[in-house]
Structure 1
Amino acid sequence: MVILPSLSLPTDELRRITGVRNYEERMLFLLLTLREPGVRVIYLSTEPVDPEIVEYYLGFLDDPESARSRLHMVDLGGGRDVEPLTRAVLERPDVIARLRELTGPDAWLVPFVVSEDEQRLSQALSIPIYGPPLHLAGLGSKTGARVAGEAAGVPMARGFADLWSLPEVEQAARALAPANRLMVKLNDGYSGLGNALVSTLAGVPLTESPTSFSSAEETWASFAEKISQRGAVVEEFIEERPLHSPSALARITPGGRWDIVATHDQVLGGPNSDVYLGCTFPARDEYRAVVTQSAAAISRVLAERGVIGLFGMDFFATRSGDGYRALLCEINLRIGGTTHPFGAALLTTGGSYDAATGTLVAEGRRKYYTATDNCSSSWLRGRTPGDVVRLLDALGLGFDRTRRTGNVLHLMGAIPRYGKVGFTSIGDSREEASELHEATVKALSG
């Protein structure tokens, strides 16, 4: 497989993410698929991946030497600002020629997200994409999510989609009265970036109403321009409490077979508590089943329309009578923030997902985890990935291959310059995973 971790997303939001170039490393968990002797992996990156990081992942395998012989790391030697990797590859005939030499007739392109650039690269290499056809990519937008949600018959917040101007947004907001607060979301926003939380006042335009943007630099003038370029939805802000933010991870095969592979509870932060920071697995018992049920209905609709690949669905879980209901929030037709923690846990423990219970089971034991992309400290800055691995091993916080518990690191390339790293803390109970996570944060804080 050709792994293409290109962040082919709006660059305005990308610039706000610390160490964003290192987010190309979040798909390195797929190196663990080399445990299968018939698998070959070609991993693309803008900058060279530190050899210590590659060796770290291969160290989880029984036969790292065999895996190393079937792994090809291909980098561009650096890039411009936040230019997406795929776009840069398309400008490099030498890299494309190298990829043609390495790929065989059974190769697949596995991208982070599908855009016109990924489609062009697929055509240049004459290999198929494991991802949605480009003409269906809109189903992963905020508008597309509402379209798919309506077709699936799942509940959603009251709202309006397919809005392309500030006057249209204003009209939609008036139609949602008397909602006290509204969420305006750009169609292609991600990780909570591209949102505006508005406190509505009778007779007062949105532009003059109290507004909290996901970015401190955003204004209504800049946001209105983005609405006209990228489209938006307006939804009633969910005021019910308690309010939980579970998500579901699903896959659809090229043959149209779909299944739900995981549920999570998202850990959110930021000024509006809508920016993704991490997750816990699995989603809480109280609403896991209803989230899975809604995710299944949506997956069925997407499969019928021809979507393939891995994708995520975010929900709000609110009380309904004696139970819960799951309101669809958005669909992400791409690799998401919960994909790499689940992949890392699945492949390091050798477990399998039990659809009946919604749990990960390895050697008869259920596995739980807490994951973050955002462990930052001044102590980490200037360290090497190897320094951090050795520290955690010395403290008993590394991965125990016998018990199949412990930490699996990611975003390690961001350690020296940004003092930032991600990790997935795996335990045999929620409590063990949480305690391990807290101990690791403390250890990495110096």
Structure 2
Amino acid sequence: MMSVTQAAAPQRKPFYKILYVQVLAAIVVGAIVGWLFPDFAKNDWIKAMGDGFVKLIKMLIAPVIFCTVVSGIAHISEVKKVGRVAVKALLYFEVISTFALALGLIVANLLRPGAGFQGQSNASAVAGYAKQASEMKSVDFVLHIIPDTVVGAFAQGDILQVLLFSILFGFALMTLGERGHTIRGFIDDAAHAIFGVIAIVVKAAPIGAFGAMAYTIGRYGPQALGNLAGLIATFYLTSITFVVVVLGIVARVAGFSIFRFLKYIKDELLIVLGTSSSESVLPQLMEKLERLGCSKPVVGLVVPTGYSFNLDGTNIYMTLATLFIAQAMNIDLSFGEQLTILIVAMLTSKGASGITGAGFITLAGTLAAVRPELVPGMAIVLGIDKFMSECRALTNLCGNGVACVVVAWWEGELDREKLKVALDSNIDPTEVEVAVTTG
């Protein structure tokens, strides 16, 4: 069985060498540079710092998923167990996603952030997003899960395609029994090496966070937050409420504190804040969840699947932004139409996974399905979508982390002792040591 264990605690490092401190400082410096020197911050090389770091991480996502899922499945002997974990994960995703969608609707109705809005709307600015949304079909989404070739799935880095092949390969390796021992050992060793690469790459996180934040502020400017600050504040407040209250209650039922969990993944949260991409920390999150006591099969199945089916931040954004646009355009939505929004958003949030700008595209799909006349109003929020995407990514990350722990607990695959020790400790992702044993 492959297990991830923490090495003996090193001597305490100076605070300026701790990753989350470096990332936080880089975000602050990047924001200042973007504000004071916007022309310099808009340089292609500055933008490349953030984009380059995200690409470095993304190149490792496919092999991490493959090794983790295959190893997890191949080392268990009960086929029904894998299916049971998958069903429990999907059931959890749907229930929590419904809470996220409903919370967005409730807050939008109570606070009415779009009422009295006086901004300008340019329908042509969102034509591309609306076109992509109109082309999304459930059958296309299902067929897209099946890669044209195995190599193509890895080359494109499509999470669901890699996950499908990994599950099939893991089951095939499971049936080989002792004959598959050599391949299992090779995959275990490969996972060890890949996490070593991650430990090297993540050292560049402060550079990536600086570049991404400097370019964002330099490109859009602080004034981009001006007349839409109310929507941004409402969205962030709603997301914080969801994480603290909804996920907090779920975490408490599962026997751990949401605040200690957030402290445990603070490095990943800061990297996501700087890069606006939850995928930029997927490998580190999976590794940390194993350290937390979640079994490898659960981590391998729940986390990659959650990145497509458990988008809590995106769900909150869709219902909140839909009602904001309706309020800004003075269009009243009945209770029945708002209920339709919830149902449609539940489907569209799955259909656009893996598409660039998925949050904005799913919003277009939701609006087109409920009230097509609202689609041009997307231009109202287009200018601040970059700032909204950061909160979407942060909430999605928190939701998937909690989901993995909860499913592991539900399945009886959570090591309580490791959970307690890990939540009381501080782990620097740049000092990952993976110990691999086979049994």
Could you state the TM-score of these two structures normalised by the residue count of structure 2? 0.23
- Work out which structure has the larger RCO, using CA pairs closer than 8 Å and 6 or more positions apart in sequence: 2
By percentage of residues, which structure has more helix?
A: 2
Q: State the TM-score, normalized to the length of structure 1.
A: 0.23
- Relative to its length, the structure with more strand (as a share) is 1
